Structure 1
Amino acid sequence: MTSIVELVTNSEDKVTTKLLVRLQNGSHVEAVIMRYDTRLGKYGGKPRPGGPRSTLCISSQAGCKMSCKFCATGSMGFKCNLSSGEIVEQLVHASFISSIRNVVFMGMGEPLNNYTAVVEAVQSMISFPFRLSPKRITISTVGIIPAIKKLKDDLPNVRLAVSLHAPIQDIRCQIMPAASAFPLQRLMDVLHLYQEKCGQKIFIEYIMLDGINDQEQHAHELGKLLKTLDVVINLIPFNAIGSSSHFMSSSEQNVKKFQKMLREVYKIRTTVRKQMGQDISGACGQLVIKISKPTSQLSASMELPDIEDLHT
């Protein structure tokens, strides 16, 4: 293999493990294993089938060009693209620690800015010896329109997640500078085309920032924007990314109001992401290269819902 694991850090939540991986060129990336037990949750009032499983949050680039203001990875700048082999090797490394059932490209980097390598990596993951179901692989993007157009032909059965984070273009550009290259209406148009081709739900990721995108009018604007698409909206509490951040997470009350409005007024399935691995900077938006000391060991305690549960 061309990469090695330099450090394994276990969270005090006992279900999250972060891997620090050194690439052949000396750059580093991080990957995060999250463990779940579907039997501890319910869907439609009934116990979920299945049992323990693990999801791997994987990186496609060292650093990132997108410079999203709420994401620690963006503070690194862009270092390099990973090869398809280096992406797949994260799955290999993680498999020595836990049996991986789902893979989400939500780690470091913008996957669709490393398009060829990501497609090749996914094709390897769904082939021997991994044989992952394409429906258990999710690729997240800020909305690279030309690549989304290609993705529907190259990987039609893989899940797509879109980091939307605001329902109007001005706010998106303020918190996601790269959004200026991808106007919101053009993005919606390509998502309609994508869904017509693939016929499956699109996941919408929406980080909740106090006073910026979490007000009642924002919920109405988001509902109107997405009402003609078949989507699941995942509301993400903001995770601290250092003392320099000027963002604050929305209050739990505001998050619940936002969720209720989307569900009841616009009939859009809306979930709130459960945070994992915050103490080891392994939660959403926290991945940045920083060596830390390992914490507690793993246990069999698994209590949080998996992204795969949103597929049903």
Structure 2
Amino acid sequence: MAYRSVFDAGVITSEFDKAGISPHFIPCIWKWVARNPSCEWTDIPSLPSAAYLVLNSKFKPLTSTLHSRVDSSDQVTTKLLIKLQNEAFVESVIMTYDTRLGKYCGKPRPGGLRSTLCISSQVGCKMGCKFCATGSMGFKSNLSSGEIVEQLVHASHISSIRNVVFMGMGEPLNNYTAVVEAIRVMTSSPFQLSPRRITVSTVGITHAISKLHNDLPGVNLAVSLHAPVQDIRCQIMPAARAFPLEKLMDTLQVYQKNSKQKIFIEYIMLNEVNDEEQHAHLLGKLLETFDVVVNLIPFNPIGSISQFRSSSDVKVSNFQKVLRGTYNIRTTVRKQMGQDISGACGQLVVNLPNKRSSVNAELLTDIEDLRL
């Protein structure tokens, strides 16, 4: 039989309820497993005898295993290949930042190292974005909430995770129930992540965006916009046909009115596709009534998605100047981490590890800084 992950919150709560076991034991179990992922159930002290029976018959501490890890040449990015119980694989990426580098508001940054985990919500993806390697896999399956949380468990044994971004494999809002449940586990004991340090990225699933703030108050929303007009979006993001730009922007207006939170706009820079000055002005006009941070993302070529080319640094800089100077929109340029291990934005596609040419991976602006 297929066992469930003990981090599948809904399932273990239901099973404990049917057995007459108090749910207050569940965080204790999660804490023990998070610290000791290879434990046996009998290792956990002070549980009711009925709890051991339920755990042994229905659950595994972890249903996934860390198949391999690959570190970038500069040691700031680590890609994890995680094998699921059904033999499928997903990838997660740990990105480490030194908050003492550079200045913020003219003052030295406090603190030290902190890590962000880029997490997957599906095996593959059905959105089919033409610039994204994950889309070339097609859609395989949804992850359970427990399988999503287990990525955090695996990563936490490599680095202390401060932020989580759902920007890995899959469209998170197409696996809405499991993602919501997983985030609720991550923000509860023993993980205790702040909702403000969790970001969910979407291509624009409007009906799910409408529910997100009520279900996950405080969690950040990032929208993969990538073009300022509908026809270009449809060319590079086939799913945009189902979520027209006008409807998406109306949905975001309501979301921001209700949440009172910044929205992060992801915009991949594709040479001679969406990176001209006219596109910058169209984007500025589209967003000028919103409270947003626009994140310009260099295109990362990989495998079969070679019909696109990266925008030049000059084009990216000019694009940023238009958004900032003309429309007063806060705009950052993402400096990539993990290109040499195919762990950068848009590069996640399941391959067994191999040697790749070394490319210097530069520090990336952390999502935590963008909120300020």
Q: Deviations over 1:208-267 (max 9, x none)?
A: 000000001000000000000000000000001225520000000000000011000000
Contact 1:9 1:295 in 2 (8 A): no
Match of 1:305 in 2: 365
Is the counterpart of residue 45 in structure 1 residue 98 in structure 2? no
Q: Identity over aligned residues, as a percent?
A: 73
Matched, 1:221 2:282: yes
Q: Larger RCO: Structure 1 or Structure 2 (Cα < 8 Å, ≥ 6 residues apart)?
A: 1
Alignment of 1:131 with 2:131, yes or no, is: no
Q: 3-state SS of the aligned residue for 1:162?
A: strand
1:39-188 matches, cutoff 5 A: 39-188=100-249
1:196 is matched with which residue: 257, 278, 285?
257
SS in 1 for 2:66: strand
| Pairwise CA distance, 1:38 | 1.1
Match of 2:350 among 280, 284, 289: 289
1: CA distance between counterparts of 2:198 and 2:239?
25
Among 314, 317, 320, the alignment partner of 1:253 is 314
Name the SS of the counterpart of 1:188 in structure 2. Answer: helix
In structure 2, distance between residues paired with 1:304 and 1:176: 25
**1:12 to 1:175, Cα distance in 2 relative to 1, 3 A:** same
1:48 Cα deviation from its structure 2 partner: 2.3
CA contact (8 A) 1:70 1:241 kept: no
Match of 1:12 among 62, 69, 73: 73
* RMSD (Å), alpha carbons: 1.5
Over 6 Å off, 4+ runs: none
Q: List alignment gaps of at least 5 residues for structure 1.
A: none
Q: Under a length normalisation based on structure 1, what TM-score does the superposition of the two structures give?
A: 0.96
**8 A contact 1:73–1:108 mirrored in 2:** yes
Deviation at 1:169, TM superposition (A): 0.2
For the pair shown, the structure with the greater C-alpha radius of gyration is 2
Distance change in 2, residues 1:64/1:150 (3 Å): same
5+ residue gaps, structure 2, are 1-61
Please give the alpha-carbon distance, in whole angstroms, between the structure 2 residues aligned to 1:305 and 1:254: 19
Q: What SS class does the counterpart of residue 120 from structure 2 fall into? A: coil
Q: Secondary structure at the match of 1:265?
A: helix
Query: 1:302: how far off?
Result: 9.2
Q: Which amino acid aligns with 2:367?
A: I
Distance verdict in 2 for CA 1:289–1:303, change over 3 Å: closer
> Could you list the per-position Cα deviations for residues 120-173 of structure 1 after superposition, in whole angstroms to 9, with x for gaps in the alignment?
000000000000000000000000000000101101210000000000000000
- Kindly state the Cα deviation for residue 41 of structure 1 after the two structures are TM-superposed: 2.4
Structure 1 residues 76, 156: CA separation in 2 closer, same or farther (over 3 Å shift)? same
Amino acid at match of 1:4: T
Q: Partner residue of 1:280? A: 341
Contact residue 41 and residue 47 of structure 1 kept, 8 A: yes
Structure 1's 52 and 302: CA in aligned 2 closer, same or farther, altered over 3 A? farther
CA contact (8 A) 1:139 1:159 kept: yes
Q: How has the CA–CA distance of structure 1 residues 244 and 40 changed in structure 2, closer, same or farther, with 3 Å as cutoff?
A: closer
The C-alpha deviation readout for 1:54-99, integer Å capped at 9, x for no partner, is 0000000000000000000000000000000000000000000000
User: Could you tell me which residue of structure 1 aligns to residue 97 of structure 2?
Assistant: 36
Q: How many residues align?
A: 308
